[in-house]
Amino acid sequence: MSLRNILSLFFCLTLLAGIAAAEETAEKFAPQQENSPVAPPADAVVLLDEKTNLFLSKNGGAIDWPLEEGVLTSTRGEVRSNHLSSRLHFRDADIHVEFMLPEKGTGNSGIHIHGNYELQIINSAGKKKLTQQDMGAVYGFAPPLVDAARKPGEWQVYDIRYRAPRRDADGKITQEGEITAWLNGQKVQEGTKLGEPRSAYHPYRYKSTPYLQEIWKKQLQTSVGPVFLQDHDNTVKFRNVWVRPLDDKSYVVAGLSKEG
């Protein structure tokens, strides 16, 4: 075989391998949400159930939200924005959260992925013109594709596939992140691109703490961080929270120190 033929074969094989990898990366994300609570897959890390609580306060200590039979209830505590931060830190992952809005109030809360990108939780069921502040939105980035919100008092389900932005040694984004999300059996975000955070109220900016600032400093270098459950002055309930890491970058922390 001539050198030209060998090189042609090499480039063909390389191209096919690249296509296969791209197809695997772009696999359809269609989680089962029909019957909640949804059992976590074998390779998921459970953050919250009847036996497990892998959340910390935003000071890195014990939480002060009520926890009963695997259900956390958002509570303001001594200060506003009394968010919880997961002990699991990850880069790319599938994230599952079940929640219930209170009968009274707006039900405002959210899921802050890496502290920067909020999947909105709020009572917007039945709303016709959806905005970046409604249920299913990535706050400040994209409104939901459809109104998939249920009424307050009913359990609801978010499933999120998240790819973190990639950053250089100076912490600048070199490749945008991406979110695809399902809410109550309907796709509400599809490949939404994520640049620098846009909200002035995310956990690293508004009423932050030394503990969170230390996490943010590391996150700028590694693209690895926690998921937050947001306190926004409403008694939103959370249960059955788990994360399925999609790479080998995840680890569990105890306060500021790494466990294992």
pLDDT tens digits for range 133-142: 999 999 999 9
Does any domain span residue 6? Answer: no
Judge contact between 40 and 234, C-beta under 8 A.
Answer: no
pLDDT bracket for residue 4 (50, 70, 90):
very low
Does any domain span residue 26? Answer: no
Does any domain span residue 5? Answer: no
- Average pLDDT of the chain is 88
Domain containing residue 152: 31-259
Judge contact between 26 and 19, C-beta under 8 A.
Answer: no
Does any domain span residue 174? Answer: yes
Q: Please determine, for residue 33, whether its predicted confidence score (pLDDT) is greater than 70.
A: yes
pLDDT digits (tens, 9 = 90+) for 85-132: 999 999 999 999 999 999 988 999 999 999 999 999 999 999 999 999
Does any domain span residue 12? Answer: no
Does any domain span residue 217? Answer: yes
pLDDT digits (tens, 9 = 90+) for 35-86: 889 999 999 999 999 999 999 999 999 999 999 999 999 998 777 789 999 9
- Number of domains making up the chain: 1
Task: Tell me the two tokens of residue 207.
Answer: 């009423």
Number of Cβ atoms within 10 Å of the Cβ of 180: 19
* β 71-73/237-245 pair status: antiparallel
Does any domain span residue 1? Answer: no
Does any domain span residue 24? Answer: no
Phi, psi of 218 (to 5 degrees): -70, -40
For residues 9-31, give the mean pLDDT.
47
pLDDT bracket for residue 213 (50, 70, 90):
very high
Place of tokens 């949804």: 38
What is the 8-class DSSP label of residue 197?
Answer: -
Give the model's pLDDT for residue 1.
Answer: 52
**Which CATH number covers residue 116?**
2.60.120.560
